[in-house]
Structure 1
Amino acid sequence: MIRLENISKQNGHQILFIEAAAAIQRGEKVGLVGPNGAGKSTLFRMITGQESPDEGQVAVDRGVTIGYFSQDVGEMSGRSAVAEAMDGAGPVSEVGAQLHELEAAMADPDRADELDALVEQYGEVQARFEELDGYALEGRAREVLAGLSFSQEMMDGDVGALSGGWKMRVALARILLMRPDAMLLDEPSNHLDLESLIWLEDFLKGYEGALLMTSHDRAFMNRIVNKIVEIDGGSLTTYAGDYEFYEQQRALSEKQQQAQFERQQAMLAKEIKFIERFKARASHAAQVQSRVKKLEKIERVEPPRRRQTVSFDFPPAPRSGDDVISVKGVSKAYGERRIYDALDFQVRRGERWCVMGVNGAGKSTLLKLVTGTTQPDGGSITVGGSVKVGYFAQHAMELLDGERTVFQSLEDAFPQAGQGSLRTLAGCFGFSGDDIEKKCRVLSGGEKARLVMARMLYDPPNLLVLDEPTNHLDMATKEMLIEALSRFEGTMLFVSHDRHFLAALSNRVLELTPEGVHHYGGGYTEYVARTGQEAPGLRH
């Protein structure tokens, strides 16, 4: 259906692909993996024809329709979210827009004299709309938007009033509605809450076309794909299986390659030793010569490519008292909307609470209340003696000064610290060599997240309050963060929509629902087992 035939591609000085080949067949669900900057987005653009390979070709079967969702959603305003989503379905959306215009014209008293002509035109346009299954399309558009957590008001309101993350969901809905033969989804799991993520997972499982997608969400990827294409060092390698199978196979082949490399190195060392020892002796000249020729012909085994990984190192935190947070009778409202009424909640040392609830349930608000960035309307919040809070907020990355470098940003936060200790800190969070001289404005989302964490952890807290800390991290960095946090000896209160992160780190669950607040002993895995659902909004 889609074939990449010996493609080579270079961007500036960076070589992305060297005679790389892969194929996507009808109905296959393929995960595209590789380190940041390996060329995943370039590959998508080559399949859609937005870019061409320098050599080789990208062949797409005739008549195959392709829907491409990228992180760059473009401008959206002046229409409802429903109309914007329906726009992806081709001519039917234009006919729908004509219908709405004619409805407005017929209701306009200034155009009463044109009414007969407008009614006649409306009849023709309506017939065309029905022919294109337009009424069913609007129903489907609303269904998809509801799946992505839109309320009716948001669906019918101006799409221009939505935040970037919500516009991203409208762009995704447009591709899902289009029902193309092949879908290319670049990070569709970004910006989605847990309920939307699980809905999308089910939608894609039931989708009958071919799918090629990237995602930093391990559980999401694992449940959908049945094949992995890995970009590494300019080549494309295909693995038949899910993400977990790919990881096992990759580790196995690396181990085998390392063993092969070591065996060959030992053999080469032995041969070279013989040559060195006997090269001056005439009696051994023929043997030496034959061994030199043999060495020249041997195809050298390369050691496995070492992936660049970031290793987080959290400095040990001083011990806090046993009572870390006490929330008593807290109420909070934003205008008419009541978030909590008489909320009671206790956190003790060593507990790791994940806070769950649908959009608008007050998850981030609770973290703001605990950290003192927002005040309650009533009740009290007490943070225990010798508790030192480290707070990772969703907007913290926007507060970085774009003109300061990584190193200056750390210096600004800790003017008393020595250069050496700040360089060590930067190194612990993956900023080595020239990276510390990068200006904050050129950092990727993941790099900004790492810098914010470095600033938060220099003077080690014993209570970590984290609001979606993994949003901008790739899978490898996320894995490192989970590993480091599992060694953290303090207390944690966090919000995340990453099920792998939730399962690995929580030992308590606080669920915020319209019916009230529920506490669960045991972590996210136990919560799923006890409630039979992966997210609060999925209760039936």
Structure 2
Amino acid sequence: MIRLENISKQNGQQIVFIEASAALQRGEKIGLVGPNGAGKTTLFRMITGQEAPDEGQVSVDRGVTIGYFSQDVGEMAGRSVVAEVMEAIGPVSAMIAEMAELEAAMGDPDQADQMDAVIERYGEVQSRFDEIDGYSLDGRAREVLDGLGFSQEMMDGDVGKLSGGWKMRVALAKILMMRPDAMLLDEPSNHLDIESLIWLENFLNAYEGTILMTSHDREFMNRIVTKIIEIDSGTLTSYSGDYEFYLEQRALSEAQQQAQFERQQAMLAKEIAFIERFKARASHAAQVQSRVKKLDKIDKVQPPKRRQTVRFEFQPAPRCGEDVATVKGVQKAYGSRVIYEGLDFQVRRRERWCVLGANGAGKSTLLKLIAGSSEPDAGTVTRGPSVKMGYFAQHAMEVLDGELTILQALEREFPQAGQAPLRALAGCFGFTGDDVEKRCRILSGGEKARLVMAIMLFNPPNFLVLDEPTNHLDIATKEMLVDALSKYEGAMLFVSHDRHFLAALSNRVLELGEDGPRTYGGGYTEYVASTGREAPGLR
């Protein structure tokens, strides 16, 4: 259905693709993977015709419709959310307005002499409206928006007043409404809570068209894709199976390549030693010459490429007492909206609490109260006397000074530390060499998140309060964070929509709901097993 044949592409000095080929067949659900900057967005843009390859060909079968969801959602304003989503099918609002005008004209005696033309035009517009199933569009749009977490009030509100994250959801809803033959989805799981993620999983699994998508959520990817296309050093390699199977196959392939490389290196060393030993002896000249020619003809096996990975290094956290944080009788409201009424909750040493709850249940509010960035209306929030807290907030990245370089930002936080340990710290979080001279304002979301974590963890806390710490991190960086946090010996309280992160790190669950808070003694995996649901807000 969609074919990429021997494509080559260069952006400035960067070679993105070198004679790369791949094919997307009807109904396939494909995950597109590769390191940041490998060319995933470029591939999407070439399929949609927004960019052309320097060499080779991208071909799409005649009549195939493509919907492309990217992180650049563009301007949205001037209509309601539901009307904006309906426009994905065509100029729906214009058709509705024209039919209303024509209906009024048909009842206007002053336009009797134009009635034939009015009736003919009304028939044309109504026919087009029927073709796109216009009378059911409002219901379909609301169903999609409801699945993505919009309330009825938000659906009827001005799309221009939404935050960037909610506008992303509107852009995603528009693609889902289109139901094209092929969907290209660039990080559709960003900005979604667990409830919306699970709804989207079900929607995409029921969708009969072709999907090519990227995602930093490995669980989301695993539940949808049945094929992986990997971009690596300009090539495209296809693997049958989900993301976990791809990881296994890639590891097996790398192990085999490493073994082949080592065998060939041993053989080459033996041949070179023979040549060096006997090259000066006339009696062995023919043998030496033969072996030299043999070496010239050998196809050299390359060692597997070592992927750059971020390694989080935690220093041992200072020990604290048994009582880390205590919430007693807390009340909190925003205007007339009551968040908590008499909330009691306690975090003890070595406990790792994940906080679950539907939108508006008060997950982030609880973290703010315990971190001290918000005050309760009534009740008390106390932390143990020897508790040293590290707090990662959703807005933490916004407080970075954009004009400072990475190294300057670290020096401002730790003026006594000296450059050597700060450069080592930056290296642990993926900023090597000249990277430390980048200004904060040009950093990606993931890079900003890593810098904030580096600042937070330089002097290790014994209590981590984390609000969506993985939002901007790619899969490889998330894996490193999970690996490091699994060895962390302090207490944790965190909110995340990443189910792999939740399952790997939690040993306690606090569920915030309309019936009040409920606690579960096991982690997220045990919570799912005991409740039969993956999130409290699922309907």
1:207 and 1:429 map into 2 onto residues whose CA distance is 39
Q: How does 1:412-431 map to 2 (within 5 A)?
A: 412-431=412-431
Q: How far 1:98 sits from its partner (Å)? A: 4.2
Aligned-partner SS, 1:168: helix
Contact 1:87 1:94 in 2 (8 A): no
Using the alignment, how far apart are the partners of 1:102 and 1:399 within structure 2?
Answer: 55
Q: How does 1:38-437 map to 2 (within 5 A)?
A: 38-96=38-96, 98=98, 128-437=128-437
Q: Displacement, 1:115? A: 10
Q: TM-score, normalised by structure 1?
A: 0.96
Q: In structure 1, the residue corresponding to 2:94 is in which secondary structure?
A: helix
CA distance in 2, matches of 1:90, 1:79: 15
> Contact conserved, 2:4 with 2:22, CA < 8 A, in 1?
yes
Q: Name the residue aligned to 2:3.
A: 3
**How far off its partner does 1:132 sit?**
3.1
**In structure 2, the residue corresponding to 1:368 is in which secondary structure?**
helix
SS in 2 for 1:537: coil
Structure 2 residue aligned with 1:495: 495
1:416 positional shift: 2.0
Cα distance in 1 between the residues matched to 2:46 and 2:257: 32
For residues 97 and 444 of structure 1, what CA distance do their matches in structure 2 show? Answer: 43
Residues 351, 491 of structure 1: 8 Å contact kept: yes
Q: Partners in 2 of 1:147 and 1:292 — Cα distance? A: 68
Cα distance change of structure 1 residues 3 and 405 upon mapping to structure 2, 3 Å threshold: same
Quick one: distance in 2 between partners of 1:470 and 1:6?
A: 36
CA distance in 2, matches of 1:381, 1:458: 26
SS at match of 1:398: helix
Partners in 2 of 1:98 and 1:153 — Cα distance? Answer: 26
* One-letter amino acid of the structure 2 residue matched with residue 265 of structure 1: Q
How many residues are aligned here? 533
Paired AA for residue 375 in structure 1: E
Deviates more, 1:310-319 or 1:83-92: 83-92
Aligned-residue offset at 1:127 = 6.2
1:444 aligned partner: 444
Q: Distance in 2 between matches of 1:507 and 1:496?
A: 14
- Change in Cα spacing, 1:442 to 1:285, as seen in structure 2 (3 Å) is same
Report deviation, 1:131: 4.7
Cα distance in 2 for partners of 1:197, 1:287 equals: 67
Preserved contact between residue 327 and residue 380 of structure 1 (Cα < 8 Å)? yes
Alignment check: 8 A CA contact 2:89 2:132 kept:
no
Deviations 1:281-317 (A, max 9, x none): 0000000000000000000000001101111101111
Cα distance in 1, alignment partners of residues 111 and 334 from structure 2: 46
Cα distance in structure 1, aligned partners of 2:136 and 2:496: 35
Q: Gaps spanning 5+ residues in structure 1: where?
A: 107-111
Q: CA deviation at 1:351?
A: 0.2
Provide the rounded CA distance (Å) in 2 between the counterparts of 1:189 and 1:489.
30
The residue identity in structure 1 corresponding to 2:302 is E
Structure 1 residue 421: deviation in Å?
1.6
Measure, in 1, the Cα distance between the counterparts of 2:396 and 2:93: 39
Task: Tell me how far apart the structure 1 counterparts of residues 423 and 520 of structure 2 sit (CA, whole Å).
Answer: 41
Counterparts of 1:485 and 1:429 in 2: how far apart (Å)? Answer: 14
TM-superposed CA distance for 1:94, in Å, is: 3.5
The percent identity for this pair of structures is 77
CA drift of 1:384 comes to 0.8
C-alpha displacement of 1:449: 0.3
Shift of 1:91: 4.0
Partners in 1 of 2:148 and 2:405 — Cα distance?
37
Q: In the TM superposition, what is the alpha-carbon distance from 1:90 to its structure 2 partner?
A: 2.1
| Aligned residue number for residue 461 of structure 1 | 461
d(CA) in 2 for partners of 1:94, 1:220? 37
User: Residues 241 and 336 (structure 1 numbering): CA distance in 2 closer, same or farther, change over 3 Å?
Assistant: same
Aligned equivalent of 2:506: 506
Shift of 1:458: 1.1
Q: Cα offset for 1:9? A: 0.3
CA distance in structure 1 between the aligned counterparts of 2:253 and 2:420, rounded to whole angstroms: 39
The alignment partner of 2:329 has SS state of strand
Summarize deviations over 1:181-218 as a string: whole Å, max 9, x none.
00000000000000000000000000000000000000
Tell me, in whole angstroms, the C-alpha distance in 1 between the residues paired with 2:429 and 2:99: 56
Deviation per residue, 1:256-290 (Å, 9 max, x gap): 00000000000000000000000000000000000
Gaps of 5+ in 2: none
Q: CA RMSD in A?
A: 1.9
